[in-house]
Structure 1
Amino acid sequence: PQSSEKQKLMDEIFKSYVEKDLVYLLKIERPEVFQLLIKILASQTGNLVNYSQLATQTGLSVPTLKKYLWYAEKTFSISQVTPWFSNTLKEITKSPVYYFHDTGLRNYSINLMGNLELNQQYGFVFQNFIWLLLKESLRWKNHTLHYWRTTDKAEVDFVISKHDGLLPVEVKFGILDKPMISRSFRSFIEKYNPPEAWLVNRNFEHEITINQTRVKFLPFYRLMGISE
């Protein structure tokens, strides 16, 4: 009963968002396509967005698609994270990644309310949650939040660009019992030598050094009290 009430509440919230905010206030002409767009973005949380491919999937022109994405951002449904790069030949420079301000909306959009275990979506939700924590921690600071990816598929979930250097942040949902560094994360650290790097996870707290970089393994709840 409780889950059905929650589902009903989410139905009402989402319907109100689409009908009142989008159709009435923003004059969106095809609300059903907007809902499809949100659903596709929800299923691709944390993945690169290809505008041409997304336009084909939704049946929108690329300019209209970008307008709909702009509406979604301005109504605080989603935010885009842009790539950080220093080598325009070997690193991704344009494609954004989108995250949801409300993971409930994200899960609702792809029918995951109460079904995370069955759908193996924990990792995506956790990464979205860490984005929310990082975004909140940077609200009053002159830092910017990005991701990093190379044309060879090496990637780091988040890169915080600060006035005194870079802070790469890798997110790992699995339970850790010893320090484990992905090849991609190590590659970024060795290439850019940041003073510090974080590997955010569920349970493990530790610190190692790679070259001159302090690599901190941080349980996610540490982010709630960390001031950078």
Structure 2
Amino acid sequence: MNLSFWYKSKVELEICTIFYIIFIMQNTKREIEPELKRCAEYFPVVTILGPRQSGKTTLSKMFFPSYRYVNLEDPEIFALAQSDINEFFNLFKAPLIIDEIQRVPALLNKIQVLADENKQNGQFILTGSFQQGLKSAISQSLAGRTAVINLLPYSISELLQIGQNFSKDEYLYQGFMPRHYSENQPVDLLYRSYFQTYVERDVQSLLNVKHKNLFEKFLRLVAGRIGQVVNYESLANDTGVSSTTISEWISILESSFIIFRLEPYFENFTKRLVKSPKVYFYDTGLACYLLGIKNAEQVSRDPLMGNLFENMTVLEILKSQYNKGEGKSLYYFRDSKGFEIDLIIQNGRSIVPVEIKAASTFNAEFAKNLKKFTGFAKNAMNPTVVYSGNLECESDGVKYLNFKRCESLVE
């Protein structure tokens, strides 16, 4: 949305932009809010994990407007928290929001003591954008005292609330970072900045990468393998580092909420199953940036368009699970002969097999693998094709669903 076309002066544009940001913030209800409310009612501490710029701070401040707020990215506050924890909590008393708790995990022990003393629920709201080590520290220090929820960038259904209704190519290119929609940031500037300030700074500092160009090459290679089975040896050969280094880099990217792995589904259907995970990005806008895609028109012509669409669909279903307070229970199925089901949603002892197609025209052939799979997978139910077409129906026992409603697959 380019506002400059409608306003003659810079002042008018700035005023309009401010009101636009306020409108977006006030009218975009995050679907995780009921789960956040429920957790705060039953636990003294709630920990919100998720990618940087996914909206954790905004959600915390707007949902708990009377709470004090402190950000450990502030150098002075960071220094105080490290040097004198007691003075830190003398200055910043509960109820309290602490942003980027992974910066000073030593605070968790004191939070445990204070939570036990206060005996009130919802006293501390913690946010974190790095999982490695933090989850372990939380489970040790705050066992039984905190609920952990995962907040990812906007979902399609959240964007539809505020009238952001696009084609699949626009969604893929623009991505789902709240700042793009609340501050009207150009996509190219947003992801270039995101890459330079968060991916390069945070991830490379954790890895102590000596050759910046190799790590950037690795990231672009990972983007080029989106939705594909991870082959560490191939990545190592193409990047020019060891397989061990690739494994370490993949783990850090996952812990930093840059990528996530989709594990294969195992059942006694056959002994010859692929056992390596697939890799996807937590935001398709970043993936498009790394692939060098410069506009939505290029998305439709890109050889990886189908992979990007698959990434977006899997991610939408993952967001729906997290927003309902569920853990990730998503898989894919592939045997050694190449027979594959794009997504398996586990629902108790039952599974929902899903085929994902970027095409916009209905085609009964989309269900071919689903029918074969349900023939031998007796616990499979509600086989579904998610595609970009508008015709939603059920044909020969298979449901056809538009991608904008794929979150409905999560019960």
8 Å contact from structure 2 (residues 392, 401) kept in 1: yes
8 Å contact from structure 1 (residues 201, 219) kept in 2: yes
Question: Which residue is equivalent to 1:201?
Answer: 387
Question: Which residue is equivalent to 2:72?
Answer: none
User: 2:276 matched to 1:95?
Assistant: yes
Question: Which residue is equivalent to 2:319?
Answer: 136
8 Å contact from structure 1 (residues 196, 215) kept in 2: yes
TM-score, normalising length: structure 2? 0.50
Higher Cα radius of gyration = 2
3-state DSSP of counterpart to 1:80:
strand
Unmatched runs of 5 consecutive residues or more in structure 2: 3-173, 175-185
Shift of 1:97: 0.4
Shift of 1:169: 0.8
Partner amino acid for 1:154? F
- % same residue: 29
Aligned equivalents of 1:182 and 1:66: distance in 2? 35
3-state DSSP of counterpart to 2:398:
strand
8 Å contact from structure 2 (residues 191, 289) kept in 1: yes
8 Å contact from structure 2 (residues 317, 410) kept in 1: no
Mapping of 1:147-162 within 5 angstroms?
Answer: 147-162=332-347
Q: 1:188 to 1:76 in 2, by over 3 A?
A: same
Aligned equivalents of 2:334 and 2:222: distance in 1? 19
8 Å contact from structure 2 (residues 230, 277) kept in 1: yes
Question: Higher strand share goes to which structure?
Answer: 1
Aligned equivalents of 2:211 and 2:250: distance in 1? 13
Question: Which residue is equivalent to 2:162?
Answer: none
The 4+ residue runs of structure 1 with deviation greater than 6 A are none
- The number of residues matched between the two structures is 222
Aligned equivalents of 2:342 and 2:221: distance in 1? 20
RMSD: 2.4
8 Å contact from structure 2 (residues 220, 290) kept in 1: yes
8 Å contact from structure 1 (residues 157, 170) kept in 2: yes
Aligned equivalents of 2:313 and 2:201: distance in 1? 30
TM-score, normalising length: structure 1? 0.87
Question: Higher helix share goes to which structure?
Answer: 2
Q: 1:53 to 1:120 in 2, by over 3 A?
A: closer
Partner amino acid for 1:123? G
Out of 72-81 and 168-177, give the one that drifted further. Answer: 168-177
Mapping of 1:165-204 within 5 angstroms?
Answer: 165-193=350-378, 194-202=380-388, 203-204=390-391
8 Å contact from structure 1 (residues 145, 159) kept in 2: yes
8 Å contact from structure 1 (residues 38, 109) kept in 2: yes
Q: 1:50 to 1:11 in 2, by over 3 A?
A: same
Q: 1:145 aligns with which of 308, 330, 336?
A: 330
3-state DSSP of counterpart to 2:383:
strand
Aligned equivalents of 1:57 and 1:89: distance in 2? 31
8 Å contact from structure 1 (residues 179, 217) kept in 2: no
Question: Which residue is equivalent to 2:266?
Answer: 85
Unmatched runs of 5 consecutive residues or more in structure 1: none
Aligned equivalents of 2:407 and 2:361: distance in 1? 20
Q: 1:12 aligns with which of 193, 209, 213?
A: 193
